[in-house]
Structure 1
Amino acid sequence: MNLRDLDLNLLVVLRQLLEDRHVSRAAEQLGMSQPAVSRALRRLRALFDDPLLVRTPSGYVPSARAERLLPRLRQLLAETERLVAGPDFDPATSTQTVRFHGPEPEVGWFLPPLFARMSRLAPGMVLEVQSEPREHFGQLERGEVHFVLSAFTPAAGAGELHRIPLAPLTFALVMRADHPLAAGELTVERYVAARHGLVSLTSRGGGLLGQELVEQGLLAPGERLNEPLRLSSFSAIAAFCEHSDVVFRLPRRFAETLTRGSALVVREAPTTTTLDRPQIHLYWHERFHRDPMCLWVRQQLKAAHGLAADAGG
C-alpha cells in the first residue's frame, strides 16, 4: 500500500480497540463517539483485510492477526510519539560531546567554570575546545561546532545565528619589565611608535588596534603600525615579550594571568586607543537552538558566570 494513504489516527484507534476489546469503552478512552469508532473499525478491517475483532457470546476477541499486531503496534506508536516529542537529554547519563571554538583568552575565562559544572552534573559528557585561528562563524554555519566565543561580529549569515552577551572585553598591555614603555607616562604617541606583536584570530589581515587608530585619526588611512611579529597562537607571547621589545595588547584577564610569576609587566592601554568596549558573546546556529543538549549547556554556562537564566535563550 501507499503510506501516503494511511491515516495514523486509525492505528491509534486500533490499539485502543485491541486493548479494550470493546467499542464503547475504546470510544470513551479516545474521546470519540461510538459511531465514529465503529466507522474506524470498518476502515481498519478493509485496510488489513482481516476482521481484527471477532464477536463472540462473551464479547469481542482479537483475531489471530490482531494478536500478532498488538505488540508491534504498541512499539510503533511509542516510537512515533518519541519522534514527534523530540530527543531526550539526561545530563546525568549523557555521553554526548559539546564542541566550542574560541580564542585562548576567552576559552580560559569562560569554559573552566562550565567544565566544572559539567563534571559534576554530566560526568559522561565531553567538552571539546578548538582555539586554532580560523573563520569561526563558518564553523557554526557548517555545523562543525555547537558554540563560538567571540568579540567579533559575523560579516554575513547573522540571521541564522543566536547570541547572548557574556562580558565586556577590556584590554591591557604586556611587555618586559625593562621595556621603555614600562615606566613613565604612556602617551598615545609613544605607544603608536612602539613595536607591536599581533595574534591573528582569523589567520589573515591586520589587527583591530590598527583599525581603531585609523578611525580615530591617529594613523593615516593606509598607514600601518610597526608589527614585526605575528603569531597564530597566544601560547608563545610571554617568551617573545621576554626576549624582545614587542608590546602586545591583550584581554586584561588573560594579560594578568600570563604575567603572573614572570618578568613581564601589565600596563593600562592609553584610553584613546580603544573604541567602545567590545562585548564577548556566545554564538550558536539556528540548527542547535532547540537542541536539548545545547539548551542545557547554555543554561549551565549562564549559571557558572552568574548570568540571568532568561538572558538571550
Structure 2
Amino acid sequence: MNALNRVDLKQLRTLQCLLREGNLSRVADQLGVTQQAVSDQLKKLRATFNDRLFIRSGNGVTPTAYARTLGPKLDLILNAVGELLEQDEFNPATTTRTITISSTDLEQKTILPFLMQRLRREAPGLRLAVKKLELDEMANDLLDGTVDLVLTNPKFAPPSYPSLTLYSERYVCVAGKANEAVRSTMSVAEIADMPQVVVSPSRGDFTGAVHRWFEDQGHPRQAMLSVPTFTAAKATISETDLVGFIPSRLLPDDSLQPIELNAEIPGFDVIAVWHQRSSQDPLNIWIRDLLVQVSR
C-alpha cells in the first residue's frame, strides 16, 4: 500500500510516453506540459522505482533494462484504468439486465401492460420483475436495490427520494350495478352514511385516500372493509351494498354504476420514485422516460 501512495497516474502516463517516444520534448508536447514538468516527473519515478529508468543518448533518452520490463505492465494498467473510467454505452436493443418495479394493482393494470409492449419491441432482452407495493418497506427496498422503481402516490413516497410525475388521476364514487340504495346523483352526506370499502395497500387500515376529504366536509364516512387492491374493492362493491372510490382509469366497469356527488372529489398524482444512486443510470433513465410516454 505504501508503494502505491508514492506513485500517481500522471507519473505512470509519463513513464509510458517516455518508453514509447524516448524524448522528453516530444513527451512534453504529447502531454501538454513543459519539458521541466516531464523532468520533475522522471525524478520522482526514479525515486519510486529505485532505478535510473532512462539514460541520456544523443537527442533523447534510452530506457534501462529494468524500465523496458515495465512497459507491458504499464500498458495493461493504464488500459484497465481507461476502461474503468469509460461508461458503457447503453443500448436497449442489446441489454440483458433486469429491472424491478413495485406498484399497486392500479399501475399494474393501467401502465405495465403498455410498458411491456414497448419493452418487447425496443428491449427484447430486458427482464421486468413486478412486485406488490409494500408501503412501509419502500424506502429500504429502494435503498438496498431490491426495487429499482416504485410507482405510487406522492403521499406514500419517501420525501428525500427523487421522483417523476407520470399522470394525474381522479377518483369516481361507485356502487354495484344492483345496489338499489344509491342514485346517480347523491350528496356527500348521503354517501358518508353508506357502508364503504377502503383500499389500503399493505397496511390494512380504514383511512384510505378520501378519508380526510369526508372529515373536511363534516361527514365522517362509514368504512366497513379494508382491502389491499382496487381489484378486490371493485369485486366486493359489485356483489354487496358497499360503495367506494375507484380511479377513473379502472372504469368503466359493467358491474359498477358511477355516482355523481355534489362536491368535487380530490384527485392524486401517480409518480415514479427511485433512489439517488440510480439517477444517472442509463437503464433507469430510459425506463422512466418510457413510463412517462406510456402513461399519457
What TM-score do the two structures reach when normalised by structure 1?
Answer: 0.81
**Structure 2 counterpart of 1:115:** 116
- CA 1:82–1:181: 2 relative to 1, 3 Å: farther
Equivalent of 2:258, from 256, 259, 267?
267
**Structure 1 counterpart of 2:288:** 298
Consecutive unaligned residues in structure 2, runs of 5 or more? none
Q: In 2, Cα distance between the equivalents of 1:300 and 1:18?
A: 50
- CA 1:6–1:57: 2 relative to 1, 3 Å: closer
Check if 1:233 corresponds to 2:229. Answer: yes
Residues 184, 258 of structure 2: 8 Å contact kept: no
Check if 1:194 corresponds to 2:194. Answer: yes
After the TM superposition, which of the residue ranges 132-141 and 26-35 deviates more from structure 2? 132-141
Q: CA RMSD, aligned part only? A: 2.8
Residues 173, 259 of structure 2: 8 Å contact kept: yes
Consecutive unaligned residues in structure 1, runs of 5 or more? 220-224, 307-313
Equivalent of 2:243, from 240, 244, 247?
247
Aligned length: 293
The letter for the 1-side match of 2:230 is: F
Q: CA deviation at 1:101?
A: 1.4
Output aligned runs, 1:82-121, within 5 Å: 82-86=83-87, 88-121=89-122
Identity of aligned residues (%): 28
- CA 1:71–1:305: 2 relative to 1, 3 Å: farther
Check if 1:163 corresponds to 2:159. Answer: no
**Structure 2 counterpart of 1:145:** 147
Deviations 1:49-93 (A, max 9, x none): 234345557964544443443333233223323444556533332
Q: In 2, Cα distance between the equivalents of 1:254 and 1:39?
A: 72
The letter for the 1-side match of 2:153 is: A
Deviations 1:88-122 (A, max 9, x none): 53333222222221211123223333332222222
- CA 1:95–1:203: 2 relative to 1, 3 Å: same
Runs (4+) off by over 6 Å: none
Q: CA deviation at 1:18?
A: 1.8
**Structure 2 counterpart of 1:222:** none
Q: CA deviation at 1:29?
A: 0.7
What TM-score do the two structures reach when normalised by structure 2?
Answer: 0.85
**Structure 1 counterpart of 2:77:** 76
Q: In 2, Cα distance between the equivalents of 1:188 and 1:138?
A: 39
Deviations 1:120-163 (A, max 9, x none): 222222222112443234433444322221223257x52x3112
After the TM superposition, which of the residue ranges 168-177 and 180-189 deviates more from structure 2? 180-189
Secondary structure in 2 matching 1:11? helix
Q: In 2, Cα distance between the equivalents of 1:204 and 1:239?
A: 17
Q: In 2, Cα distance between the equivalents of 1:162 and 1:286?
A: 6
- CA 1:181–1:149: 2 relative to 1, 3 Å: farther
Output aligned runs, 1:36-47, within 5 Å: 36-47=37-48
Output aligned runs, 1:268-283, within 5 Å: 268-270=259-261, 272=263, 274-275=265-266, 277-283=267-273
Secondary structure in 1 matching 2:212? helix
After the TM superposition, which of the residue ranges 63-72 and 14-23 deviates more from structure 2? 63-72
